[in-house]
C-alpha cells in the first residue's frame, strides 16, 4: 500500500468520506503551495492534487488555466514542483497526486519522471491525456515505483470501457461528473448515483467524484454516492482572489475546512 491506499483504507474503517483538494502548483508561488499543503493536512484533507503548470492545459477551464499561467510565471517547473513535494514531505504524510499532462513526462523521459516523482514523495499520477490503451510501459514503471495511476471516467464513457479502465485502477477512480472542462457550477449532475453504481459493478477501488463541486452543500450531496469528492476550481478561485495577501493560507484553509466538515460530520 502507498499513502493513497492507506488513507482510503483508514477512511473505510472509520466509515468516513474522503476530501481531495486540487490546487495549481506555484500559484501564487511554490512557498505558498507548501504552506497550503500543510494547512490542508491540518484541516482534514485526505489527498492533495497538485496541478503541474503546463502551457496548453486543454482539460481545464478558465480558473485553472489562469492558475497554470501564474504557476509558470512563478517558475514552477516540474523539477521545482518536485522539490516542493519533498519539502512538504519533511513535515506531512498527506497523500499527493500530480495532475499532469503527458508532454511533461515525455519531455523528461517517462521512466525518469516517475522515478523522480517517487523519490520526492509523490504517491500517484493523474495523466490527463494518456489513454489506458497506450499506457502499458507507463503502468509498468508506475507499479515498479509503487505509485498509483489514477484514471478518469466520464458520463459519456460506455460500459465496456468502464470495465477496461477499472482493470487498470489503483488508489481511486476519478469520476468526472459532467462533460466539459474543469470549473465551478451552481448545480451538480443528477446522474452521479447511477454512474457510480455502474463503476462499482466493475471495481472495488474507491470512487472520487469531481468537476463542478463548489460549496459545502454540494460536497455533502455528492459524498452520498462516492468514497471521496474532489474540489478544485472553487479552491483555486479563492487563491486567485487573495493572491499574495497575508491571509491567503488561513482564509483558503478555512474554506476547505467547511468542505471537510460537510462530508465527515
pLDDT tens-digit profile of 123-174? 999 999 999 889 999 999 999 999 999 999 999 999 999 999 999 999 999 9
Decide if pLDDT at 186 tops 60.
no
Enumerate residues 6+ apart whose C-beta is below 8 A from 217. Answer: 262
Are 94 and 123 contacting, i.e. CB atoms less than 8 angstroms apart?
A: no
Using only C-alpha atoms, the chain has a radius of gyration, in whole angstroms, of: 17
Q: What is the DSSP letter of 121?
A: T
What are the residue ranges of helices labelled H in 15-50?
A: 30-43
DSSP bridge partners of 160: none
Enumerate residues 6+ apart whose C-beta is below 8 A from 109. Answer: none
- Per cent of the chain over pLDDT 70 is 95
pLDDT digits (tens, 9 = 90+) for 11-46: 999 999 999 999 999 999 999 999 999 999 999 999
* In the chain, where the domains are located: 3-264
Are 149 and 110 contacting, i.e. CB atoms less than 8 angstroms apart?
A: no
- Average pLDDT of the residues in 228-236: 95
Closest CA to 227 of 18, 15, 1, 2: 18
- Average pLDDT of the residues in 224-247: 95
At 159 the three-state DSSP class reads helix
Closest CA to 113 of 86, 151, 79: 79
* Confidence at residue 59, expressed as pLDDT on a 0 to 100 scale: 82
Catalytic residue among 5, 41, 46, 49: 49
Annotated catalytic, 60? yes
* Confidence at residue 191, expressed as pLDDT on a 0 to 100 scale: 83
Are 149 and 168 contacting, i.e. CB atoms less than 8 angstroms apart?
A: yes
CB atoms within 10 A of CB 7: 23
Are 220 and 262 contacting, i.e. CB atoms less than 8 angstroms apart?
A: yes
Domain 3-264, architecture per CATH:
Alpha-Beta Barrel (3.20)
Annotated catalytic, 257? no
Q: Is 23 exposed, middle or buried (0-12, 13-18, 19+ CB in 10 A)?
A: buried
Decide if pLDDT at 178 tops 90.
no
* Confidence at residue 40, expressed as pLDDT on a 0 to 100 scale: 98
pLDDT digits (tens, 9 = 90+) for 196-227: 999 999 999 999 999 888 899 999 999 999 99
Dihedral (Cα; 265, 5, 46, 56), 10-degree rounding: -130
- Average pLDDT of the residues in 175-197: 67
Are 82 and 56 contacting, i.e. CB atoms less than 8 angstroms apart?
A: no
Catalytic residue among 5, 60, 123, 257: 60
DSSP string across 216-244:
HHHHHHHHTTSSEEEE-HHHHHHHHHHTT
Task: Record the cell numbers describing residue 194, joined without a space.
Answer: 447511477
- Average pLDDT of the residues in 69-87: 98
Rounded (5°) CA angle 24-125-121: 85
Are 175 and 210 contacting, i.e. CB atoms less than 8 angstroms apart?
A: yes
* Confidence at residue 265, expressed as pLDDT on a 0 to 100 scale: 76
pLDDT digits (tens, 9 = 90+) for 98-127: 999 999 999 999 999 999 999 999 999 999
* Confidence at residue 188, expressed as pLDDT on a 0 to 100 scale: 54
185 or 232, which is more confident: 232
* Confidence at residue 189, expressed as pLDDT on a 0 to 100 scale: 59
* Confidence at residue 58, expressed as pLDDT on a 0 to 100 scale: 85
Q: What is the DSSP letter of 53?
A: P
Amino acid at each position: 500500500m502507498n499513502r493513497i491506499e492507506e488513507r482510503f483504507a483508514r477512511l473505510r474503517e472509520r466509515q468516513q468520506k474522503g476530501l481531495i483538494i486540487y490546487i495549481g502548483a506555484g500559484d501564487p508561488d511554490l512557498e505558498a503551495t507548501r504552506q497550503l499543503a500543510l494547512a490542508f493536512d491540518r484541516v482534514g484533507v485526505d489527498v492533495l492534487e497538485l496541478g503541474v503548470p503546463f502551457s496548453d492545459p486543454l482539460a481545464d477551464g478558465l480558473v485553472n488555466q489562469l492558475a497554470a499561467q501564474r504557476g509558470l510565471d512563478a517558475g514552477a517547473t516540474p523539477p521545482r514542483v518536485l522539490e516542493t513535494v519533498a519539502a512538504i514531505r519533511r513535515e506531512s504524510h498527506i497523500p499527493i497526486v500530480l495532475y499532469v499532462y503527458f508532454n511533461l513526462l515525455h519531455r523528461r523521459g517517462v521512466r525518469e519522471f516517475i522515478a523522480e516523482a517517487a523519490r520526492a514523495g509523490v504517491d500517484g499520477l493523474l495523466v490527463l491525456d494518456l489513454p489506458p490503451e497506450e499506457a502499458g510501459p507507463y503502468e509498468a514503471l508506475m507499479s515498479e515505483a509503487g505509485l498509483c495511476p489514477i484514471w478518469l471516467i466520464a458520463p459519456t464513457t460506455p460500459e465496456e470501457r468502464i470495465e477496461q479502465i477499472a482493470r487498470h485502477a489503483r488508489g481511486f477512480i476519478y469520476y468526472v461528473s459532467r462533460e466539459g472542462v474543469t470549473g465551478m457550477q451552481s448545480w451538480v449532475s443528477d446522474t452521479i448515483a447511477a454512474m457510480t453504481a455502474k463503476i462499482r459493478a466493475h471495481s472495488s477501488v474507491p470512487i472520487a467524484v469531481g468537476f463542478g463541486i463548489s460549496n459545502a452543500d454540494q460536497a455533502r450531496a455528492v459524498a452520498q454516492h462516492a468514497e471521496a469528492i474532489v474540489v478544485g476550481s472553487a479552491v483555486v478561485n479563492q487563491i486567485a482572489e487573495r493572491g499574495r495577501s497575508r491571509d491567503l493560507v488561513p482564509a483558503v484553509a478555512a474554506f476547505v475546512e467547511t468542505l471537510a466538515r460537510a462530508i465527515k460530520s
